[in-house]
Structure formats: C-alpha cells, structure tokens
Structure 1
Amino acid sequence: MKNLRVFKKFLTDTVNLNPTRLESLEKTSTSLSSFVENSDWEPSNLEWYPQGSWAHETIIKPLPNKGFDADVLAIVDPVDGWTASDYINNLYSAFRDSDIYRDKAHRYSHCVTLDYAAEKRIDIAPCIRNRWGFERLEVCNRDTDEFEESQPKYFTEWLKEKNTLSGNNSFRKVTRLVKYLRDIKTTFTCSSVCLTTLLAHQIQANDKGSADFADTPSALRTMFERLDTWLQIRPVKPQVSSPFSNEDFSVCWTDDQYSNFRDKVSKYRVWIDDAFQETDRNKSISKWRRVFGDDFGKNEGEQQAKSVTAKAVDHLRENVRAVPATELGFVGDVVDLVKQYGSRAIPSTLSNLPYLSQPTWRSVGNQLFSVHLIATLHRSRGGATVCTVSSGDVVPKKLELKFTARLATGMPLNTQDYRVEWRVTNTGEEALAKGQLRGSFIGSNSGGDRWESLEYRGVHFVEAFVIRKRDGIQVSRSDPFYVVIE
C-alpha cells in the first residue's frame, strides 16, 4: 500500500531539512561569500556556486546531535604560478587570519571547511575556470597537488532534468528518502554524490508521465528495483560517473563495501516491494517502518494506541450479540470493558498495529511445529509463582510475569537448537505518555523465558517467534498473549 499521506508527513517532519535551517544556511553562505570576496585571497572574479545536496535540493535533516553538510564552489580565475594546493592553503590562511572564522576553519584534500559545531558544516572548494585558456572547470586536490576536471553546472542541470522526467519532484524525494535510509540504518556505505548519481541513472526519457513514477512510493519502488537489477549484473565494483566528466564516484567504496552495498540494496528492494504490495493499511505502515524506522507513521501508531477502548466498544457492538448496545455507554476504558465482559472485549485486530516491528529474518512457508505461551505471575523476578495467568486475564500493576514458549505437547523448546525472539507491545495512554509502546523484538532473559514488569494500565500483548539457530530461519510463531493490567 502506498500510504501517500504518511509518506508526505514523514518527508515533511522527519526527512527534509526544515526551513529555519535552510534560512540559516543561506545567511551563513552569504556572509562567507562576502568575506572571501573582501579577503586577501588573491584569485579574482569570484562566483559563489552552491553544489552537492544543497544545489540538487536533496539535502536532508541530520540525525540528532549532528549537523548537516553543505557544499559551495568558489569559482575563480587562475593565478599565475599557483599550484592546486596553493588555492586551498591560501584560502585556509585567509580564514585563519580572521577572528570570526579562525576556530571554525579546517582544510582537507579538496576544500576548506567551516565547522559550526553541531549545527552545520560548509565545505568551500576552490574551482578554477579556463586554466591555460581551455574552457573548463577544475577543482583542486591538495593531497596530490593536482587539478581535476569537473562539470558541476552541467551535473546539476542533468539532475534537474531527471527530476522533471520523474514528475512530482519524485527524484528529489526518493533521493532524500534513500539518503535517510543510509543514515539511520548505517548498514552500507555510499557517498551522497555516488548515491544521487546511481539513482539519477535509473530515470529515462520515456518515464515522463509513467505510472511507475505516479507518486513518491511508486518512484521509490521503481528506482530501487532498477538499481538492484543494475547492481546484480555487476558483481565487481563498476565506475559511477556523471555524463559530463571522468570523475569516478565509486572511489567512495572498497571492493568489500561495494559488495555489501549491492547486497543491502537487494535486501531493501524486497522490503520495499513487500510494504508496497501489502493491502492491509496497518501492516503496510509496519512494513514501511521496517525500511525507514520508527518515525515513519509515528502519529498513526500513537493515535491507534490511544483508541483501543473505542475499538473494543465497536468490537463488542458488532460481534457480541448478547451485549445490548445500551450497556456500552459506560464511563471507563478498555480495562473496565474486559473486567465486565471478559476477554471477548479484546478485538482481534488489536494485534495489528502500525508500530509493530516486522521480522528481518527469513521464515519457512509453513510452521514446523506449533508453539504457545505459558505465563506465571510473580511478586518479584525469580520469586515464587503466585498463580498461572491465561491470555486476557486481568492482573495488577507492580508484579512480574514470566513467559515460556511451549510445544503443543506441553514440553519446553530445545534451547540448544532454537532461540526465541519476543515481540512485546503496549497500548494505552499510560504507556504512550512514558514512550513505552514498544512493539520491537527482544531476546529471552534466560533459558528461553521472558520476564516482563506490569507497569502500565491497558491491554498489551506478547508474541514468541522461534528461530532455528543453525540457519537463522523462523520455524514457528505463537498467537498473541494478551495481558490486561488494571
């Protein structure tokens, strides 16, 4: 399912660089341009030209406690007798001589960087126009003391053309999403320019107006599918270049890093297809969260976590004929409903929430064996058993539950051959207020058991996923075990 509204909100709230930061970047860039223009740096005819993600409009919001990067070319006429390293070293000296910029300035192979702590970093790369009378642009490599031909203006125009062909600003949106995926997963390495170039190459002239690019999730799916296909027929690291220069952006990878990137794109392509094709809205959001993390559809999950009582009332009205509708006008919450009507008040759809983490492991087509959960109540972890608890029973706060996965015969699992991943999910106002909706996977405490503290009023549930140790494949899964805390 596309979940267009959720994608739009996710891009606006989480992925895109917010307007205040863009305004700050513009102001800082203007100040830096003015400083360089009026400094003692000798080159003349300065053209201050944004490039990279800023110019391509694919810049994204940084992760917490990290700044964002922006790139600028300082395009100038050549200075007689200067080598490539002179342009960078002398620009660096100009900043170091300034009381304002002295502590912010750093120099690297191709640029001088102004570091504004956790806010932002601006890379200023000297770019020389028409050296020796040849019509061209060259950036400077301080490490090798060489000039390197570059065509940033043509490259930017090429990306704009690709964005136009994709329609609906889809190329830029997809590029931002994939960069965000890279940054939150940290499972693969790929420079922004290499990633942007790879994605741009997946858009062709006949894609304009195509259903494959009808909207953001469609474009994402199409571009990932094409990128995966392109990578799979290239087991050896290929050259990744713009159409306008011999720059090879694949230098960002070692051979092993390229192989890993290739594998991860293939993996995420499967996840994207799964989320796109899922027809159940909540399951689709959950599967998109497997791709993009917990901030995707976050508000959807919070709203549904708070609306459990309304779901339970609707469930009773529709499915429990013995309960007159007039009796459901009570004042209370889902816990009161369960206390009054028993576990039949728990809607079967409760275990289908959008904030549930999806398994990342493979599973067999049919379960190899059945597994169910046994729960016992304890006053403290490791303490004596107070009683056995059934799914849907009401239990008090401040106690502990121990869950054990059992076979249909009642025997425990063989923990030498199998491990259990537990998905523990909370609902309700109290858990939401404490940021404890959970829904992710967690391992056993010991011996295949799982202890859980009873803390938040509401209906919660626990599921067991049985993983075979020798190959990491899921071979069984329990039904949800509902825990009602009063």
Structure 2
Amino acid sequence: MKLTNLFDEFQKETVNLNKTRIDLLDASIPALKSFIRDTEWKPKVRTFVEQGSWAHETIIRPVDGGEFDADLLVMVDPVEGWTAAEYVESLGRAFSDSKTYEDKSKTWDYCVTITYAGDRKIDLAPCVVDRRWEGSMEVCNRKGGFELTAPVDYTAWMKERNAYSGNNSFRKVTRLVKYLRDIKQTFTCPSVLLTTLLGNQIHWFDKDTDEFADVPTTLQTLMGRLDDWLRMHPNRPTVMNPKLPSEDFSPLFGTDDQYSNFRTVIARYRKWIDEAHATEGRQESIAAWQKVFGDEFGKASVIKVAADAAADGFARVRGLLSSTAAHLNELVDVVKNYGISVLPLDFSRPPHIRQPTWRQAPNLAAVPVTAEWREHRSSTAGRAIRAGELLPPRGGLHFRAFDTDGSPLPPEFGVQWRITNTGAVAMAKGAGRGGFYVENSSHGRWETLDYRGVHLAEAFVVRRSDDMLVGVSKPFYVVIE
C-alpha cells in the first residue's frame, strides 16, 4: 500500500527541518550579510546566493538531533592579483577578529563556518564573478585555486525537475532518500551527487504521468530507475553537473568499494520499496515501510491501530469466531485491516484440529519455518512470504522447516506438517483440514492457495530413530483473499 497520508505525516514530523529551526536560520542570515558588508573586507560584495539543500528546499532534520548545515555564497567582484586562498582567509580573519563571531567561526578550504552550538551551521563561501569571463562564477579553494561553479543554474535545473515530477514530489523524495542515507548509514553519497542522480531519472515527458502520481509512487519510480541505471554501470560512471559540463561529480562516490556498496544498497532498498508498495493490509504495509525507513514511519498510526485492535478489532474477531465454526469470510477483511496480531491465541486451535500423538521430548525446540510463493509446484524459485501477508488465490506456498540455528535439518529428523484450513468456502467444500501431512516437495511441503480464509501451517519435527517429537514451530498464518 502507498499510505500517502502517512508519508505526509512522516515527512512533517520526522524528516523535514521543523519551522522553528528554519525561522532561526532566516533570522541569522540578515545579521551575517550586514556584518560582511560593514567590514573592511576588500572584495566588493554584489549579492548573496543560497546554495545546496537550503536553496533546493531539500534540507532535512539531522537524525542525531545536532546542528544542520546551510550554505550561503558571497558573490564578489574580483580583486586584482588575489589568489583563491586570499578570499577565504581574509573573510575568515574578518570573523575571527570580531567579538561577536570570534568563538563561532572557523575557516576551511572553501568557506568560513559560523556555528550556533547545538542548532545550526552556516557556511559562507566567497564566489568570484566575472574573473575569467563575463558571467563566470568561481568558488575559492585555498589549496586548489579557483574552481568554476554554476549554483544558480543548478538550482534552476533542480526546480525544473521538481516541476516535471509534479506535487513537489522530487523535493520530497530527495529528502526521504537523504533521511534513508543518514538513518541507515549503509551507504555514503554527498547530497549534491545524490540529488543529481535522482534528478537525472526525471524527464520532461514524465510530467503528469502515473509514475509520479504521489510521493510513494515517485519514490518507487526514481529508486527503480536509479537501480536500473546503476546496474548498467558496474564500474564508477561519470556524473556530470547538468549545468556545468566541466564538473564531474563521480569522485564524490569515494572508492571503488564505496561505489560498489552504493549499487548493492540501492538495489536492496529498491526491492524493499517494491515489496512495501505491494503489501496489502494497513498494518502489514506500515511494517514493510518501517523496514525501509525505520520505526518512526507510521509510529502514531501503529499505536492507534494497536489500540483499535484491542478495542474494536478484537471484539469484531470474537464476534465472528463465535458466530460459526467456519469463522466466516469477513475475518479476512478484519485481518487485512488490523493484521494477524488481532487474532486471539485460541484461533490456532479450532475444534476440528488434530492433536499430535508422538511421544514428546521434555523440552521441545522452537523450529523456524519459511514460506515461498511459487507459481507452480514444479517451480524452483519464488518470492519469500511473511506470516499473515495477504495472498491471491493462485499458485501455492512451499514451506520449509529448519534447525534452530537456521541450518537445514539433519537427515535423522523428519517433518510432519499440520495444515489447518478455516473459512466458509474451505469448510463448505469439505476442505477444512486440520491433520498431519508428510513432506511432498523438495525438503518441504507444497500447498496450493485455493480457499479464501485465514489458514495455518505448523511444522512438527520427529526424530526417526525413536519416533519422538523434538521440535514444533509457531503457527504460520496464511491469509488468502
């Protein structure tokens, strides 16, 4: 499910920089501009230009609660005979000699940083205009000299891509992917490179298309396209600044290993996002999106759903279970909305279920079970399924039981599968099974998905030498629409 409303809430409450901090940033800038204009700093100031995430409106809240960064270019006329280092160093001295900023300022290679402890950092970078030719812009590197830049044109390109995506969705998705990078810390990719990679996946002909209908759809589209593009480039590719062909962003990937890791991680997140889109049932879908973005996604909704399940959903389930032994088909709709956690403990023990007859070991092992959806019984590969995931009535599931450490069961142990059907259709057709069945597929049990209802599969591990029951799995709930 797309859960568009939850995406809006997640961005507002967790991802986006809150308004209070934006207001503090806006309040700091006029004082810094006035200070620079009023000093005896030699370069003539033309204007100031916002740059980076601040200018692009993709700035996000720091995940660690620390300071956030904003970039401000100081556009100046060239000073005859000055090196790039002189622009940066002289600006740094102007701040360090000030009683107001001496404890807040630090000079770096490209900029002077003013830090408001625990809240924000503002990078002030000199940018020399018309030094090479009329209209040229150059940032100043104390170690590397003058470097051509195109901040105004790049921001315009970014806004153009955002207009193609519609509903401000490119900006919102860029914030989401930056949050994903920062919260997971599974890959490194500077924001300008990440923004360019995502922006390159949007074209003029995408405007008003279904692929950009809303934020979760745009996220799926851009991550899918980015993954496809990365798959075509096993080695680190060139990524040009779209408005400055002489600037290649690819060194920002880092090492070859870091680029390889970036490709791997993007492919993983693309898969998780596709799965979250395809997941039916509100609670299950929230859980799938939380796999991508962490527990903060849909947090308030999860709490509310849990409360609703305890009050309303649980009562509804109880009413359905008491109305008929078949549990009625409406139970599927309740589980779809609330998740399998709404089912009472005794649901897995309906009257028609058979009890095990083997002698039992004193301490039964907890046996892990997996399920894989396959189109046909003869298929050799499929898709992993979670317990309680909503499934269509086609194909089937291949169940497997494993040792407690996740390894295959030793050959001296066999598995008996208790398959229990519920639901009006299954019961009416005499398919309300609740007995034990041997494995009928390669190291597992194959079951077709025929009847609407909430069904169960359980593995009972029996030691062959003495016919002793040594392990049992938890019920694996299968929900068929």
Both proteins in one fold, TM over 0.5: yes
Counterpart contact for 1:312–1:346, Cα < 8 Å? no
Counterpart contact for 1:370–1:477, Cα < 8 Å? no
Q: Kindly state the Cα deviation for residue 101 of structure 1 after the two structures are TM-superposed.
A: 0.8
Select between 104-113 and 12-21 the one with higher mean Cα deviation: 104-113
- 1:345/1:277 CA distance change after superposition, 3 Å: closer
* SS of match in other structure, 1:366: strand
Aligned match for 1:367, one of 399, 414, 427: 399
The one-character-per-residue Cα deviations of 1:212-235 (angstroms, maximum 9, x if unpaired) are 000001100000011011111111
* Partner Cα separation in structure 1 for residue 472 and residue 187 of structure 2: 30
Select between 150-159 and 108-117 the one with higher mean Cα deviation: 108-117
Show the counterpart of 2:389: none
Q: Kindly state the Cα deviation for residue 250 of structure 1 after the two structures are TM-superposed.
A: 2.1
Show the counterpart of 1:298: 299
* Partner Cα separation in structure 1 for residue 213 and residue 66 of structure 2: 34
TM-score (norm 2): 0.69
Q: Kindly state the Cα deviation for residue 65 of structure 1 after the two structures are TM-superposed.
A: 3.1
Select between 272-281 and 158-167 the one with higher mean Cα deviation: 272-281
* Partner Cα separation in structure 2 for residue 138 and residue 2 of structure 1: 44
* Partner Cα separation in structure 1 for residue 472 and residue 215 of structure 2: 34
* SS of match in other structure, 1:247: strand
Q: Give structure 2 stretches of 5+ with no counterpart.
A: 326-343, 351-370, 372-382, 386-396, 416-457, 460-470, 477-481
The one-character-per-residue Cα deviations of 1:259-313 (angstroms, maximum 9, x if unpaired) are 1111111110000111011122221111111110100010111112223432222
| Structure 1 runs of 4+ with >4 Å offset | 345-348, 362-365, 405-413
Counterpart contact for 1:315–1:347, Cα < 8 Å? no
Q: For residue 318 of structure 1, what is the amino acid of its counterpart?
A: L
Counterpart contact for 2:45–2:74, Cα < 8 Å? no
Show the counterpart of 1:285: 286
- 1:158/1:114 CA distance change after superposition, 3 Å: same
Q: For residue 93 of structure 2, what is the amino acid of its counterpart?
A: S
Counterpart contact for 2:48–2:73, Cα < 8 Å? yes
Show the counterpart of 1:211: 210
Select between 128-137 and 187-196 the one with higher mean Cα deviation: 128-137
* SS of match in other structure, 2:261: helix
Counterpart contact for 2:157–2:243, Cα < 8 Å? no
**Structure 1 position 134 matched with structure 2 position 129:** no
- 1:480/1:81 CA distance change after superposition, 3 Å: farther
* Partner Cα separation in structure 2 for residue 409 and residue 181 of structure 1: 43
Show the counterpart of 2:191: 192
* Partner Cα separation in structure 1 for residue 164 and residue 118 of structure 2: 36
Counterpart contact for 1:371–1:477, Cα < 8 Å? no
Q: Kindly state the Cα deviation for residue 26 of structure 1 after the two structures are TM-superposed.
A: 0.8
Show the counterpart of 1:316: 318
Matches within 5 A, 1:44-443: 44-144=44-144, 146-245=145-244, 246-252=246-252, 253-310=254-311, 311-321=313-323, 343-344=345-346, 366-369=398-401
Q: Kindly state the Cα deviation for residue 134 of structure 1 after the two structures are TM-superposed.
A: 3.5
The one-character-per-residue Cα deviations of 1:157-205 (angstroms, maximum 9, x if unpaired) are 0111100000000100000000000000000000000000111100001
The one-character-per-residue Cα deviations of 1:44-65 (angstroms, maximum 9, x if unpaired) are 1331111100000000011133
The one-character-per-residue Cα deviations of 1:31-85 (angstroms, maximum 9, x if unpaired) are 1111111112111133111110000000001113311111110010011111000
* SS of match in other structure, 2:73: strand
Show the counterpart of 2:41: 41
- 1:238/1:322 CA distance change after superposition, 3 Å: closer
Select between 159-168 and 297-306 the one with higher mean Cα deviation: 297-306
Larger radius of gyration between Structure 1 and Structure 2: 2
Q: For residue 86 of structure 1, what is the amino acid of its counterpart?
A: E
How many aligned residue pairs are there?
362
Q: Give structure 1 stretches of 5+ with no counterpart.
A: 324-341, 349-358, 373-404, 414-462, 465-475, 482-486
TM-score (norm 1): 0.69
- 1:206/1:313 CA distance change after superposition, 3 Å: same
Q: For residue 275 of structure 2, what is the amino acid of its counterpart?
A: D
Show the counterpart of 1:23: 23
Counterpart contact for 1:202–1:226, Cα < 8 Å? yes
Select between 174-183 and 132-141 the one with higher mean Cα deviation: 132-141
- 1:149/1:230 CA distance change after superposition, 3 Å: same
